[in-house]
Amino acid sequence: MFTINEGESKSFRVLIKHVEEKKGTKNIYVNVTFTDGEAELSANAWCPASEFPCAGQVANITLVMKNGYINIKSAIPVPAEDPSKYLRHAPINPDSGMAMIYRYISEMNDMDLKTITEYLIKQNEDNFKRWSAAKSVHHNYLNGLLYHICRMIANVKNLSSVYALNKDLLMSAAILHDIGKLKELKMDELGSAEYTIEGNLYGHLYLGAIMVKEACRACMVNETSQNIQLLIHMILSHHGKMEYGAVKSPATREAYVLHILDELDSKLWVYEDVMKNTEPGTFSQSNRWLDGAVVYNSDVDLDSH
């Protein structure tokens, strides 16, 4: 974790994940993303990329905070250190996560939804359980997509016992709503994700909808049946608003619930991630992913659930 206060200078041993050279008004600098295996941070170093350790290297970096901004004062490579020790993973056992998903699929009564959901997960299992959920913003580390989906379906299980919802439809959509990210993103061995050509051109909502249609043809399921059409609608609308990337706004209760659960899990992850870099009993800096909110670290055990 990278807890540092105004005016302080601290050193950390980290894995360099990404180094991007940029040009400021006066000088060239690099924006660097790094992790200690538990938390991740981005900061600037005022040097060209050629003078900074490369992505994939372990380094001792010294951070300094001045005027509310964290910058990198120095970075010294540690060649003998094993980078795999510093890879950041979601706090989930991949095999246990997949077993949970298959268990919930087995409980579905709608055969069309059950067939399509199981087919798509089995066809993509290796990537599905190790993929990052995003390039940035939320769950952007190894097994992040699986962790996000497992938290989503646990919430679906609880909500379906309170509200009169189409449980099979909501469960299928919760499992498959981000399946298009397997084509939207490519991931390296460090867990860092970049957009593919398809990802940049179409986005994961469209790609996920196409994957469902292709699965229908492969499994001889009628893609014009009501539940399949509603499933595709939920994938296309789970961002909630078109200005946030949705193709359509949610038109059913299940689509609205899916959007709310997706938003809830992504936002709570941001809160949790910010807390990891904030001293207990103190406030973080303003966070742009939380509409500028500052986060108070109430010192709860983030890994207890």
pLDDT range class, residue 129, cuts 50, 70, 90: very high
pLDDT, mean of residues 123-138: 89
Hey, which of 63-67, 86-90, 117-121, 142-146 has the most confident mean pLDDT?
117-121
Averaged pLDDT for residues 75-81: 92
pLDDT in tens, 33-52: 999 988 888 899 999 999 99
Q: Which residue do the tokens 């996920």 mark?
A: 208
Q: Per-residue pLDDT for 304 more than 80?
A: no
More confident residue, 137 or 101: 101
Contacts (Cβ under 8 Å, ≥6 apart) of 79: 57
Express each pLDDT in 152-199 by its tens digit: 999 998 898 899 999 999 999 999 999 999 999 998 887 788 999 999
212, 120 Cβ separation under 8 angstroms? yes
> Which span out of 13-22, 61-70, 211-220 was modeled with the highest average pLDDT?
211-220
Q: Is the dihedral of CA 216, 222, 228, 232 positive or negative?
A: positive
User: Ramachandran region of residue 18, left (φ > 0), alpha (ψ -120 to 50) or beta?
Assistant: beta
Structure confidence at residue 254 (pLDDT): 97
Which amino acid is located at 254 in the chain? E
Per residue in 194-240, pLDDT (tens digit) is 999 999 999 999 999 999 999 999 999 999 999 999 999 999 999 99
* Comparison of pLDDT for 219 and 133, the residue scoring more: 219
pTM of the model: 0.86
Cα distances (Å, whole numbers) of residue 183 to 152, 162, 247: 21, 35, 18
pLDDT exceeds 90 at position 288: no
**How much is the mean pLDDT over the chain?**
92
| pLDDT for the residue numbered 68 | 78
